[in-house]
Structure 1
Amino acid sequence: MISQYFGKIKNICLLTLICTLWINTGFAQDKEKIYVHSDRNDYSQGDTIWLRNYLMGDVGSGIIYTEITDKNKQLICRTLLYCPDRSLFEGYLVLPDTIPNGVYLLRAYTNYLRNYGEEAFFQKEIMVGQPNEEPIVPWDFSCGFYPEGGKLCEGLLSRVAFKAVGSDGYGTEVNGILYNRRGDKITELKSLHRGMGSFSFIPQRGMNYYVEMESNGLTKRFELPIVENGLSLMCYELRDSIHVIVKGTDEVKNKQFFVNASVDDSIVYTNSALLGRNGYRIIIPTSYFPEGIVRFTLCNDQKIQEGERLIYIFGLDKININIIPDQPAYTVHNIVSLNLEATNALGMPVEGSFSIAVTESDTIIEQTKSFNIYAYHYLSSNLKGFIEDPGWYFLDSTPERRTALDILLCTQGWRRFVYSKLFDVEKDFEVRGRVFDAFNNPAKDISVNLFEMTNFNLLGESITDQDGNFGFIGFDASDGASFMLKAIPSQKNELLRIELHKRNPKSEINLIPKARYRYSLNPDSLSVTFAKSDAPHYSLSNEDKQIDLGEITVTQKRKPSPNKLAGRYKLDGDLLQKLNFNEGMTYALKILPSPNGLPLEAQSGRGGAQFVIQRGVNFEKSSWLEVTQIPVYQVESIEIIPSIKEKNRYGSSSRGKVIVTMKNAPRKPAESNNPSVLLLNPEGYCVHREFYVPPFDVSDTMNHSDTNKPKTIYWNPSVVTNQSGKASIQFLPSHANNTSNYSIIVEGLGFKSGFGYGTGIIKPDMKLNHKIK
C-alpha cells in the first residue's frame, strides 16, 4: 500500500511538472494576429487603397507595417500605421501610376510577428488593372496523405486524410483506389471538397500501401507513409462533446501517456493515464473550450510527442451584422442612410468597432464571403499554407461543411509557427545604436542628442552605457519627418562615430535605413553637411526678407579673412562647409572662426550686433535660438558688419550687423563626413487622411453627364455600434446616370469578444434616374 501511495504521488508530481512546462511554454510565446479590411480588392494604377487594420492579441504592438509586393516579393509601396493605444489602425496606400497590370500581394505585420516568419503575416491578393494572360502549363497534380494523429499504427484502425493539388496551385477533385503491395484492393476513395477527402483502414505489420488516383483524365500512383508501432490518437465530436481515443501497439501497452489540449498555445486541459489493452477514451464537453481551433497533443511515457490532432469548436463568437438601407433604391439627389445592427449568435446586441466600404464592385460580396475577418481569425491564421475559400466552411452548419472542415484540419493542421530569434514588441517608434571612439572601442558615458529637423527642436538625450549603447523611444515620427543624432564629445578633439543597430540581420525587410556617413580618422576632413534629406527644413520665398532679432552681443572679434569685401567680413557657403572645428557643430552661426580658432560665440544682450536674415526664411516668432539653428547647407553667405557704414542698405543701426543670406532653393546636402552626426529619415507613420465624401448640398450642381464612375463610393474605417448594437452612416450617390448596384461590406470585432462581417446591396432607381437625366 505504501509503495502504491508513493507511486501515485510520484505520478502526480511528474504530471504537475509537465503541465507547468507546457503552460510556461504556451504563455512565453504570446501571439498576435492582423487582419486588413481594404475598401476593395481590385484597383487601377494611381488608386488609393483605404485600410483598416485589426490587431488581435495581448502582445502590445503599436506599429503595423502594411505593404504591397509583386509576385517576386519586390516591395512596391509601404506605409506604417501607428496607434499607441491600439484602438484604431487606419490609413492608406497610393499605388504608383506606373505599376504594371497584374496580381499583387497586400500584407501586414508587426515587428514582433517577424519572430514567426512571413507565414505569420496577414496576406491577401489584390488585382491592379486587367489580369495578365498566364502561360498555359501542362496539367499535372500531386497528392499528400496525412494519417490522423501523425502516423499509421500497425493493427489499429487508422483514418487517413488526403489533399490533391493541381499544377495551377489549387485543389483538384480526385478519385482512387487503395492497394497493398501485393496489389490487393483495400478501399475506394474520393475527394469531398477542393481535392480533400479521407478514408479508413487497418494497416498490417510489414505491409506497404499505395493509391492509384485519377484527376482530369490523368492517373498517378502515390505511396502511403510506412506502418509503425507506438501510440495512436483519434478525435471527433459527438453530442456536444469531444471524444479523444488513445490506442497503441503491444510495445506501449500498460505504459503511461500524456494528453493535453491547447488554444493559441495556452494549455486548457491535461490528462495522464496508463494505456490498457483496449485503449483509453477521454470525453470532454465542448463548452469547456473557447471557440476556434483546439490542438490535442499526445506524448509517450518519455514525454516525447507522438501525435497531434486539431479540432474546431463552434461557439457564439460570430457577430451577425444586418445592413438596413432607408430606401429600396437610390437616386443622385437622395442621401443614402444605412442602419447597422450587430448581434451575437443568441441575438443579443453587440458593441463593437467596424469598418464599412461602399463600392461599385460586383465581385466584392462573394470575395468577402470567401475571405473575411471571422474566417481569417479562427481558421486561416492558425493553419499552414494557402487556404482556399476559408469562408465557405462557415456559411452554414451542414454536416458536409463540418466534415470538410475536419478534413482540412487533418491535412493542413500541423503546428503553424516555429519560434526562433526573439524580436521585440514594437509599441512606439524607436532608434537604438552605439557610439564608438576613434579606435573603434565602445564609448561610454557619451551624451547623444536627438533633434527633429523641421524646427530643430531637441527631442531628448541618451547617455551611452559601458558598451556604448543608446536609445530613444516614443517620439513622434510622421511620414516624411527627419531627425538628427549628435554625439557630444566628453573631451576636446575627441572623435566619435555613431552606428545604428540593425533591426533584423537575417530579414530582407529593412525597417530603419542604414546610417549614411563616411568615416575618417583625420579631423581636418570633417564636414558640417548633413546626410541626404528629401524634405526642406524652412519655408523659402523669392523675396528678400529682413528680421530684426534684437540686440546680440558678440563676445569675440573675428580675425580678418581673405573674404573681406568692401569693409566687411564675408563667409561664403562653400567656405562654411570646409571650416575645421572641434565639436562637430552643424549650425551655420556657430562655426564663425575667431582668432583663437574656436567657434564664434554670440549672445543676446544690450549693445550687441543686429542679426538680419535675407531671402527665404519665415519665422513666426524670431529668436536667437532659431537663427543659430539654421543649417549650413541652406546658407549662401554670412557677413559681419562692424560699423554703421552699411546702414543705408541694411537699415539704421549703431551696433553693427551680422547678415545671413539664405539660398533661394536650398540644395540637398552631401553625405556627412562627420561620423558623430547622423541624419535619420525613418519610415514615418501614415498621417490621418479622410475619405472624401461630397457635401450633401452640392448635388444640384453635379455634372450628370460624367460617366467616369469611381469604384469606391464611401469608406469609413471607424463605425462604432452602441449598447443596442446599432449605428448609422450616410453618403451621397455619385452619379445621376449610374446603373450599377452598390455593394456594401462591413467587417469588425466586438469590444468584449467576437468577429463578424455583413454584406448588402442597394440598387438604383432606374425610373427616377432616367427623369433626372
Structure 2
Amino acid sequence: MKNIIIAFVFIFHACSVCSQSKLNENLNQLRKIKPFSFLYLHHDKDIYTNNEKIWFSAYLLNTPNPIAEHKLLNVALVNEQTRKSAVSQKFVITDGLSSGFVLLPDSIPPGNYQLMAYSNVLNAQNLPIAQFRSSIKVFNISQPTFTSRITWLDTLIKNGAMRFQVNIDGLDANRKAVVSLNYQLGADFSKSIKIDRKQTTISIPEHLLKQNTTLLLNVNVDGEVQYHTKLIPTQEKQKLNVKFYPEGGALVADLQSRVGWEVTTADGRPLSLKGMLMKNNEALYEVSTNNYGLGSFVITPNDGAEYSVRLQPGVYASEGINIKLPAQSTDTDITLHIPKAVLNDSLRFIIASKQVKPIQMMLHNDSGDYVLLKGNTNASTNVNNISIEALQKGLNTITILDASGKPLAERLFFAHHNQQDLSQNIKIEKENYNIRDSVKLKLKLSDMEGKAASGIVSVSVVQNNRLSTKTANIEHYFYLNNSLNELPANPSGNGLQDKEYLENILLIKGWRRYTAVLQALNRDSVFMVKENIMSGAVFNGQKPLKKAVNLISFGSIKTGIIETNTDGSFNLRNDDIMVERNNNVFLRVGVDKNNYDFKIADALLPITNALVSKMKPTIFESLLNHQENSILKNLQNVIALKDVEITVKKGAMYGTKGEAGANECGDYVSVHHYLNYPGTPLSGRLKPIKNTPYLTRTDLQGSQFKVERVWYTGCLTENEKMGIAIAGINTGKEYYMAVEDDGGLQYHSTLYWQSGMVTNASGEIPISFKAGDIADDFSIIVQGISNKGLVNMKETFKISDKP
C-alpha cells in the first residue's frame, strides 16, 4: 500500500482547511532522508572462543535503490572496550544474499564484541544505508603455562593516584622469561612496560581515572598472553541516567497524561528501582521501573506546579535525589493516549483537548505508506476506534497535526501482531540422542492453507550455552531493532512475542517526532555506490616510481597482470581480488627482485571507523538498586562454558593444528606439537596455524636435546616476501558444513551449519548430521526468507553420553 489518502470525518466535525500538499512534501522528504532498508546476518551463535569460526548468512531486503548495486558486504568484529577491529573480511553479495565465515585468531582478547556488517551503498553522510550489528562474547580457552592475577591496592584515590598489583605465578625459577605488561584505560590511554620480576605495582594518575572506566591488562610471557578486565573502583555513588517520556510527546496543563520513564546506570545498564512522585516537594504516590529499567505512571499536571521523582536510596541512588519531569508544553494543547499499542485489527486512541480545533491524523510507517484522516477536536476527551486493516504488519505511527501540518502529538503502535502468513515447522525424529548418533530432521514451510511455500534459509545446530538473551533473530530485528536501534534484552529471548515487553518499548524507546528528523537533515539524500574499493601504490626505497611497472597477482580466482601509473599508483578492480575461501591475494612487481614497498588503501576502512565511533556498549544484564555494587565481573566468568575441551584437549599445553600435510612453505607440526621436527613421519604431519605456540626441538648429542617454545608467525613464500598480501573478497560460492566428521573426537559447540538451503516442491528441506561428543542440550535455529514472509524457527534436543 502506497500513499493512500482517506477522507474520514472523526470526532463529529469535518475539517475545512487541510494542508495535504505540505504533508506529502514532508513525507517524501522523510523517505529520502531515512530510506528503509534491511540487512540481517544470521550467525551460528553469539558466544565464541578463540580459533572458532563465525558462520553467517546475510539477507538484504527493502533497499530504496536497485538491489544489484549492493555488491559487497563488509563484516567486522569490533572490541567494545578498545574500539578496534579484531577481524575484517569482505564478501560478495548476489541478489541480496551473501554467506561465509570469519575466523577468530588464537590471540583474540576475550571480552564483549560487536559484529558489524554493511554494504557498499552510502548516503549523503557517507554512511551505509544498509547496516547490521549484533552483540557477541569471546572467551579465550587456551591452557596457559603460567597464571597471573591483578589486584587493586587502593579503593580510593591516594596522593593523586590509584595503584594495582600484578602477580605472575607458575614460572620456573630458572626460566629467563621476557615479561611485558600492556594496560589500557577505555579507548583513550594505553601503555606498555617490561618487567624482570614476578610481581609489580603500577600507579594510575588521577586525571586518567574516570567513572565506569574499565582497566584492560595484557600479561605477555615469551609471546603467551593472558587478559584481564577490571572496573576501576567506584569513587562515588553511581550516576544515573533518568529520562521521562510523556505519551504523545508533551505534558499539557490540566490534561491527564501517561508518562513513561527509563533508568539506566552511567554505562547504560537497565536499573530496577522505586521512587516517589513529588508535586512541589509533596509526595503523591510511588512509581517504579521493571527489570528492563522501564516504567510508567499517570499524571494530571497543574499549571505552574513543578513535578519530580524522588529516587529510593540504595547502591545507585542517594537519599533525596530529585529528578525533574519535563515542564508543561506551550506548543500543544492536546494529549494522545493509546491504552494498548500492540494491536491486531483496530486502533483505539484517546485525544484530550482544551478547545475545538481542526486537526489531521496520519497513520504512517518507515516504508512510506500512510493514511490521512481529517476532523475536529472537541473541548473534551474523545475516544476513537478505527480499522487498521490497510496497514502492514509491524511498527506504525499515529501523528496528530494541526490544520497547517504542524505535529501536536505522536505515538508508535504495532499493527497486526497476531497475523501469521507462514506456517513453519521443524520435525525431528526424537528429543534425545546419544553421542555420535545420526540426527535427521525435516524443515517444512507452507501458507496458512497448507500449500507449500518456497524459501531460502540458513541452519545452525548449536550448544545451548553458546546462546544468550541477546541472540538476534530475523523477525525481532526486522520489526524492532531495524527501526528502534538499541533495545534492552528480553529475558525470554523473544521480545517480539512478549506483549508486556513490547508495550514498554513502544511507549519509551519508540517515542519520536518525524519533523525532528526533517529539521536536523533538511536535504535530499544521494546514494553513492562504492564500486572498486582497493587502491595502492608501489615505492622503490620509499620513493615514488618514475615509470610504470607490471604487478603480478596470484592467490585470487583471476590471476593476472596489473599495470601501475608512472608514479607507481594503481587501482584494483573487485574482480582482481576475488577469492574462494577467506584467502589472501598477493601482489609483486614482475620478476624484478629489487626491494619494493607497497601501500594499500581500503575505501571502506573510514566507513568502518565512522561506525565504530558511534558504537554503544552492549548491555547484557539489568541491575537492582539494592544489589551489591559489582557492576562488571571478570568477562571469563560471566557464562561458564561446559565444553572447554573444544579447542584444547585435556593435557594439551600448546596450540591447535590444521589439516593433514605441510603448507606451501613446507611447514608442519607433529602430533606432539613440535614444529618442523625432522623425525616426524609424513603421515603424522599437520599444517600449523598462524599466531599459535608450538615446540621446537634440537638434538644436541645422542639422547640430549633442547626444547623451546616458539610462536608460528605464518607462511611466507619467496613470492610473498617480495610483495604484499591483501585480504581478498570472498565469493561464498562454496558451502561447507561447520564440522567435518574425520573420525576423531568431535568437541564442537556448533554441530552443523549450512547456508543457502532451498525448499523443494513440497516446501521441505531434509537435513542430517552426526551428534558430537558433547553431552548437552542443543538448539536447531533456522532463519531466512520465503514467498510468504520471514522464516524464524527454533527447536531443541538433547545429546546424552548414556544409552
What TM-score, normalized to structure 2?
Answer: 0.59
* 1:711 to 1:765, Cα distance in 2 relative to 1, 3 A: closer
Residue 520 of structure 1 aligns with which residue?
none
- Maintained 8 Å contact 2:588/2:722: no
Residue 586 of structure 1 aligns with which residue?
none
Residue 200 of structure 1 aligns with which residue?
298
1:319, distance to aligned residue in structure 2 (A): 5.3
Aligned residue among 724, 728, 732 for 2:770: 732
1:67, distance to aligned residue in structure 2 (A): 1.0
- Maintained 8 Å contact 2:117/2:132: yes
**Given the alignment of the two structures, is residue 104 of structure 1 paired with residue 113 of structure 2, yes or no?**
yes
**Given the alignment of the two structures, is residue 258 of structure 1 paired with residue 269 of structure 2, yes or no?**
no
| Aligned partner letter, 2:336 | M
Aligned residue among 323, 339, 347 for 1:242: 347
Aligned residue among 668, 680, 685 for 2:730: 685
- Maintained 8 Å contact 1:172/1:215: no
| Aligned partner letter, 1:150 | G
| Aligned partner letter, 2:777 | N
Q: Which runs of 5+ in 1 are unaligned?
A: 1-7, 435-446, 463-468, 486-497, 512-538, 543-663, 671-678, 768-773
- Maintained 8 Å contact 2:434/2:800: yes
Aligned residue among 99, 104, 111 for 1:90: 99
Query: In 1, distance between residues paired with 2:87 and 2:664?
Result: 30
**Given the alignment of the two structures, is residue 25 of structure 1 paired with residue 15 of structure 2, yes or no?**
no
Residue 351 of structure 1 aligns with which residue?
454
Query: In 2, distance between residues paired with 1:751 and 1:428?
Result: 30
3-state DSSP of counterpart to 1:690? coil
Aligned residue among 316, 320, 327 for 2:419: 316
1:506, distance to aligned residue in structure 2 (A): 7.7
* 1:324 to 1:473, Cα distance in 2 relative to 1, 3 A: closer
Residue 41 of structure 1 aligns with which residue?
46
Query: In 2, distance between residues paired with 1:680 and 1:363?
Result: 34
* 1:134 to 1:124, Cα distance in 2 relative to 1, 3 A: same
3-state DSSP of counterpart to 1:34? strand
Aligned-pair Cα RMSD in Å: 4.6
Residue 588 of structure 1 aligns with which residue?
none
3-state DSSP of counterpart to 1:719? strand
Deviation per residue, 1:657-692 (Å, 9 max, x gap): xxxxxxx9447558xxxxxxxx99575235545235
3-state DSSP of counterpart to 1:287? coil
Query: In 2, distance between residues paired with 1:78 and 1:406?
Result: 35
**Given the alignment of the two structures, is residue 404 of structure 1 paired with residue 520 of structure 2, yes or no?**
no
Deviation per residue, 1:414-451 (Å, 9 max, x gap): 889976895745486457999xxxxxxxxxxxx99999
Deviation per residue, 1:111-168 (Å, 9 max, x gap): 3367586995423222232795542655553321111111111121111100111356
Residue 202 of structure 2 aligns with which residue?
none
Q: Which runs of 5+ in 2 are unaligned?
A: 1-13, 142-226, 538-547, 590-598, 613-662, 667-716
Residues 65-464 of structure 1 aligned to structure 2 (within 5 Å): 65-71=74-80, 72-87=82-97, 89-112=98-121, 115=125, 120-129=131-140, 134-135=230-231, 137=234, 139-167=238-266, 169-181=268-280, 183-214=281-312, 216=314, 218=317, 219=319, 220-231=321-332, 232-236=334-338, 237=340, 240-249=345-354, 253-254=356-357, 256-278=358-380, 283-313=385-415, 314-317=417-420, 321-332=424-435, 334-342=437-445, 350-364=453-467, 367=469, 371-389=472-490, 392=493, 394=495, 396=497, 400-401=500-501, 403-410=503-510, 424=527, 426=529, 429=532, 457=560
| Aligned partner letter, 1:304 | K
Residue 756 of structure 2 aligns with which residue?
718
1:91, distance to aligned residue in structure 2 (A): 0.6
- Maintained 8 Å contact 1:338/1:730: yes
Query: In 2, distance between residues paired with 1:383 and 1:112?
Result: 21
- Maintained 8 Å contact 1:371/1:390: no
Residues 499-514 of structure 1 aligned to structure 2 (within 5 Å): 508=609
Query: In 2, distance between residues paired with 1:405 and 1:384?
Result: 11
3-state DSSP of counterpart to 1:381? helix
- Maintained 8 Å contact 1:92/1:686: no
Deviation per residue, 1:629-649 (Å, 9 max, x gap): xxxxxxxxxxxxxxxxxxxxx
* 1:86 to 1:143, Cα distance in 2 relative to 1, 3 A: same
Deviation per residue, 1:220-251 (Å, 9 max, x gap): 3110001123433424247831134444455x
* 1:222 to 1:709, Cα distance in 2 relative to 1, 3 A: same
- Maintained 8 Å contact 2:534/2:603: no
3-state DSSP of counterpart to 1:122? strand
| Aligned partner letter, 1:48 | K
3-state DSSP of counterpart to 2:730? coil
- Maintained 8 Å contact 1:713/1:734: yes
Residues 491-502 of structure 1 aligned to structure 2 (within 5 Å): none
1:176, distance to aligned residue in structure 2 (A): 2.0
Deviation per residue, 1:568-593 (Å, 9 max, x gap): xxxxxxxxxxxxxxxxxxxxxxxxxx
What TM-score, normalized to structure 1?
Answer: 0.62
Greater mean alpha carbon deviation, residues 93-102 or residues 681-690: 681-690
1:211, distance to aligned residue in structure 2 (A): 0.9
Deviation per residue, 1:302-354 (Å, 9 max, x gap): 43334332111214257564333224433455321112234567776543222
Q: Which has the larger radius of gyration?
A: 1
Residue 743 of structure 1 aligns with which residue?
779
Query: In 1, distance between residues paired with 2:791 and 2:665?
Result: 53
1:732, distance to aligned residue in structure 2 (A): 1.5
For these two proteins, the number of residue pairs brought into alignment is 557
| Aligned partner letter, 1:334 | D
1:286, distance to aligned residue in structure 2 (A): 2.9
Query: In 2, distance between residues paired with 1:170 and 1:345?
Result: 41
* 1:378 to 1:753, Cα distance in 2 relative to 1, 3 A: same
| Aligned partner letter, 1:18 | L
Query: In 1, distance between residues paired with 2:735 and 2:250?
Result: 54
1:68, distance to aligned residue in structure 2 (A): 0.7
3-state DSSP of counterpart to 2:271? coil
Query: In 2, distance between residues paired with 1:192 and 1:392?
Result: 17
* 1:428 to 1:346, Cα distance in 2 relative to 1, 3 A: farther
- Maintained 8 Å contact 1:46/1:96: yes
Residue 584 of structure 2 aligns with which residue?
480
Greater mean alpha carbon deviation, residues 741-750 or residues 383-392: 383-392
Q: Decide which structure has greater helix share.
A: 1
Residue 192 of structure 2 aligns with which residue?
none
Q: Decide which structure has greater strand share.
A: 2
Aligned residue among 725, 747, 769 for 1:709: 747
**Given the alignment of the two structures, is residue 766 of structure 1 paired with residue 802 of structure 2, yes or no?**
yes
| Aligned partner letter, 2:107 | T
3-state DSSP of counterpart to 2:30? helix
Query: In 2, distance between residues paired with 1:316 and 1:413?
Result: 27
* 1:482 to 1:305, Cα distance in 2 relative to 1, 3 A: farther
Query: In 2, distance between residues paired with 1:541 and 1:328?
Result: 48
- Maintained 8 Å contact 1:149/1:234: yes
1:78, distance to aligned residue in structure 2 (A): 0.8
